[in-house]
């Protein structure tokens, strides 16, 4: 069985969807790793004293993983 995706890269809409498909594996890994980090904090405890600290750490982890996996949210 084969599946072939075809995009007209001269078309802005098609080009955007091409980038989404091309980046899907990295996005999947990013989502998995973020979920694992959140699970770890939940299961083993976290060092945060306030909700603000937890939000800030989550945001930092989010952007760090986006960078690590080269995920572009455009």
3-state secondary structure of 27: helix
Q: How confident is the model at residue 4 (pLDDT cuts 50, 70, 90)?
A: very high
Question: What pLDDT score was predicted for residue 73?
Answer: 79
Question: What pLDDT score was predicted for residue 31?
Answer: 96
Q: Is the pLDDT of residue 2 over 90?
A: yes
Question: What pLDDT score was predicted for residue 58?
Answer: 95
- Write out pLDDT tens, residues 9-64: 999 999 999 998 988 999 999 999 999 999 999 999 888 999 999 999 999 999 99
pTM above 0.85, yes or no: no
24-44 and 51-68 helices cross at what angle (nearest 10)?
150
User: What backbone torsions phi and psi does residue 47 show, to the nearest 5 degrees?
Assistant: -85, 10
Cβ atoms < 10 Å from Cβ of 61? 15
């Amino acid at each position: 069985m084969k599946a072939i995706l075809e995009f007209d890269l001269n078309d802005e809409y098609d080009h955007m969807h091409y980038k989404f498909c091309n980046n899907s594996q990295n996005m999947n890994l990013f989502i998995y790793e973020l979920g694992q980090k959140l699970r770890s904090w939940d299961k083993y405890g976290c060092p945060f004293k306030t909700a603000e600290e937890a939000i800030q750490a989550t945001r930092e982890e989010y952007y760090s993983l986006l960078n690590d996996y080269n995920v572009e949210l455009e």
